[in-house]
């Protein structure tokens, strides 16, 4: 009987990360997880436990503590630890460091969806400005925050692997001295932004139930990836004459993703390796000391803590490139043919309301003064929010309805100090309506320069992972919290 085979610990230890077959221990069971590794949602992080016990890791990554995860593991059982190796009836555990112990403190205004790893969104009330301050910029971590003391910048090394497999290394100082500094303003938006709206209006979608705050706009300063590629001898002006088709990025904690070579080599693509965010060193949560910024693309490609860049004929083999961050049809269930869909790159057009204020005779004088500055009647309602489209496509219009979509008017697009070759930033918008004309539901939708617009409902673009939710935002006529 396969599950009953007695296995010595010594033998388990031989099946570590470099072995042909990778084994782990859970309780006193021994499991050959070789075939499971490519499907592991956390990617190759699982190899940390290779050849040893997985229990301590499952305590740290609490997400594993549920029946369907235990069931998956059970399929791979090959035996039990030989009783001769047990101490007090248990497998002696190796000490494991808690990788989350160096995670930074976070601002208490962030709305926390999960702590380990940290997933926290910007509260709508704090999203009034063109620039999102560092402290309240949403945090989307799949794993832990790597070591980020003073030494992290000093010891930092970026490795570039050329298409021929040659490696070139740069320190942070090399990058700063060798290449011109460049600043862009750009949105980062998680593909799960507004997933909660899809779950509420169509069906429950898997993933973190983000509201409108898994997006932010910041100024990023660093060096152009294009300049570095040229420096390692890649013909950026003739990229398609080469066999390289993708640029893969690896983060130092284990995350990875890639972008098409055309974006990386485009002189107007503005892909940068950033060391500053809004004029300050990158905060630990946002990639200190160096991160990729791929403006106009889904934020999942803007790899934080980047330490390796590889030119390749194929996409990153990471879980997050191949088995996540894709969209399927409304009918397709949670076991799709992942390879049949392209990875999400450029974002579709998006908009949201972030604030709804009423101003009446009873409002504070400061609010009424503010209204006067805009020549408004009393008893008004002031709506504001953001609109953004991917690929550098500028927002040209935000349409607002105060009667659930029967009649429309245009919001005011606020001027901004956007930087970069294309429209990488969001547009803040504002709309002031007399409260008397208000019907039951406000509706918001945006149009970009290619005349793309958002879908009316949610069911037609439902996908089981709830990616790229962009249905018209509908808000009841009452102040938003």
Active site annotation includes 190: yes
Mask for 270-309, x = binds Mo ion (CB under 5 A):
------------------------------x---------
Using CB under 6 A, pick the residue from 197, 286, 322, 428 that binds ligand MTE.
286
The Cα 349–Cα 148 span in angstroms is 35
CB of 145 to ligand MTE, least distance (A): 9
Using CB under 6 A, pick the residue from 81, 303, 381, 447 that binds ligand MTE.
303
Nearer to Mo ion, 297 or 393 (CB): 297
Q: Does 144 bind ligand MTE (CB under 6 A)?
A: no
**Among 325, 431, 458, 474, which one carries the catalytic annotation?**
325
CB of 71 to ligand MTE, least distance (A): 27
CA neighbor of 132 nearest in space, from 142, 120, 140, 124: 124
Alpha helices in 169-210 (DSSP H): 172-178, 195-201
Q: Quote the distance between the C-alpha of residue 21 and its chain's center.
A: 32
CB-CB contact of 32 with 78 (8 Å)? yes
The Cα 175–Cα 221 span in angstroms is 12
CB of 165 to Mo ion, least distance (A): 30
Using CB under 5 A, pick the residue from 26, 113, 140, 197 that binds Mo ion.
140
**Among 190, 226, 431, 461, which one carries the catalytic annotation?**
190
Only one of the segments 135-143, 339-347, 360-368, 446-454 lies at the binding site for Mo ion (rule: CB under 5 A); that segment is 135-143
Instruction: Mention every residue, 6+ apart, whose C-beta is less than 8 A from residue 205.
Output: 195, 198, 199, 462, 463, 464, 465, 466, 469
The Cα 350–Cα 330 span in angstroms is 19
Nearer to ligand MTE, 136 or 433 (CB): 136
For residue 64, the partner it binds in ligand MTE, Mo ion, none, with Cβ less than 5 to 8 A by kind, is none
DSSP state string for 128-179: -SSSPPGGGS-EE-SSPPP--SHHHHHS-EEEEE-TTS-EEEEEHHHHHHHS
Torsion of CA 142, 146, 148, 153, to 10 degrees: -110
Q: Does 137 bind ligand MTE (CB under 6 A)?
A: yes
Q: Does 251 bind ligand MTE (CB under 6 A)?
A: yes
Q: Does 397 bind ligand MTE (CB under 6 A)?
A: no
Using CB under 6 A, pick the residue from 23, 61, 138, 156 that binds ligand MTE.
138
For residue 304, the partner it binds in Mo ion, ligand MTE, none, with Cβ less than 5 to 8 A by kind, is ligand MTE
For residue 302, the partner it binds in Mo ion, ligand MTE, none, with Cβ less than 5 to 8 A by kind, is ligand MTE
Only one of the segments 10-18, 99-107, 159-167, 183-191 lies at the binding site for Mo ion (rule: CB under 5 A); that segment is 183-191
**Among 140, 194, 195, 246, which one carries the catalytic annotation?**
140
Q: Give the count of beta carbons closer than 10 Å to the beta carbon of residue 61.
A: 20
CB-CB contact of 408 with 400 (8 Å)? yes
Active site annotation includes 40: yes
Q: Does 299 bind ligand MTE (CB under 6 A)?
A: yes
CB of 296 to ligand MTE, least distance (A): 14
The Cα 107–Cα 357 span in angstroms is 25
Only one of the segments 17-25, 72-80, 133-141, 160-168 lies at the binding site for ligand MTE (rule: CB under 6 A); that segment is 133-141
Active site annotation includes 5: no
CB-CB contact of 320 with 256 (8 Å)? yes
Using CB under 5 A, pick the residue from 91, 190, 202, 274 that binds Mo ion.
190
CB-CB contact of 446 with 324 (8 Å)? no
Nearer to ligand MTE, 57 or 210 (CB): 210
CB neighbour burial string for 237-260, b if at least 16 within 10 angstroms, e if fewer = eebeeeebbbbbbbbbbbbbbbbb
Q: Does 141 bind ligand MTE (CB under 6 A)?
A: yes
| Adjacent-strand bridge partners of 382 | 357, 432
The Cα 158–Cα 138 span in angstroms is 26
Q: Does 195 bind Mo ion (CB under 5 A)?
A: no
Q: Does 302 bind ligand MTE (CB under 6 A)?
A: yes
CB-CB contact of 136 with 122 (8 Å)? yes
Task: Write out the residues near ligand MTE by the rule CB under 6 A.
Answer: 137-143, 188, 190, 251, 253, 255, 285-286, 299-300, 302-305
The residues annotated as belonging to the active site are 40, 64, 140, 190, 325
């Amino acid at each position: 009987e396969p599950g009953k085979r007695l296995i010595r610990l010594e033998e388990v230890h031989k099946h570590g990360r470099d072995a042909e077959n990778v084994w782990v221990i859970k309780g006193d069971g021994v499991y050959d997880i070789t075939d499971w590794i490519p499907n592991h949602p956390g990617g190759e992080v699982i190899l940390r436990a290779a050849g040893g016990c997985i229990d301590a890791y499952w305590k740290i990554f609490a997400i594993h503590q549920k029946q369907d995860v235990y069931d998956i593991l059970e399929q791979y059982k090959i035996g039990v630890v030989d009783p001769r190796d047990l101490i007090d009836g248990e497998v002696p555990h190796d000490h494991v460091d808690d990788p989350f112990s160096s995670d930074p403190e976070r601002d208490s205004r962030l709305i926390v969806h999960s702590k380990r790893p940290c997933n926290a969104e910007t509260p709508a009330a704090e999203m009034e400005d063109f620039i999102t301050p560092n402290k309240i910029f949403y945090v989307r971590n799949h794993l832990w925050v790597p070591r980020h003391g003073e030494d992290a910048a000093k010891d930092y090394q970026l490795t570039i692997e050329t298409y021929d497999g040659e490696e070139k290394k740069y320190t942070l100082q090399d990058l700063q001295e060798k290449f011109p500094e460049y600043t862009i303003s750009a949105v980062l938006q998680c593909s799960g932004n507004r997933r909660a709206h899809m779950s509420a209006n169509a069906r429950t979608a898997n993933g973190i139930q983000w509201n409108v705050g898994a997006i932010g706009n910041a100024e990023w300063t660093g060096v152009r990836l294009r300049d570095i590629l040229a420096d390692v001898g890649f013909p950026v002006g003739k990229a398609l004459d080469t066999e390289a088709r993708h640029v893969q990025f690896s983060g130092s904690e284990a995350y990875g993703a890639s972008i098409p070579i055309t974006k990386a080599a485009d002189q107007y693509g503005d892909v940068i390796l950033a060391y500053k965010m809004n004029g300050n060193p990158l905060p630990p949560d946002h990639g200190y000391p160096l991160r990729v910024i791929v403006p106009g693309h889904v934020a999942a490609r803007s790899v934080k803590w980047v330490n390796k860049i590889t030119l390749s004929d194929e996409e990153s083999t990471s879980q997050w490139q191949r088995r996540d961050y894709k969209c399927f049809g409304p009918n397709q269930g949670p076991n799709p043919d992942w390879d049949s869909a392209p990875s999400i790159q450029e974002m579709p057009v998006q908009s949201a309301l972030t604030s709804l204020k009423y101003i009446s005779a009873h409002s504070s004088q400061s609010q009424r003064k503010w209204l006067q500055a805009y020549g408004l009647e009393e008893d008004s309602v002031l709506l504001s929010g953001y609109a953004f489209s991917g690929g550098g496509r500028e927002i040209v219009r935000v349409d607002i309805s105060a009667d659930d979509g029967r009649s429309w008017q245009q919001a005011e697009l606020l001027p901004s100090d956007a930087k970069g070759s294309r429209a990488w930033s969001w547009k803040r918008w504002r709309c002031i309506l007399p409260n008397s004309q208000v019907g039951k539901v406000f509706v918001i939708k945006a149009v970009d320069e290619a005349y793309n617009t958002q879908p009316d409902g949610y069911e037609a673009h439902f996908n089981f992972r709830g990616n790229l939710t962009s249905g018209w935002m509908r808000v009841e006529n009452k102040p938003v919290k």
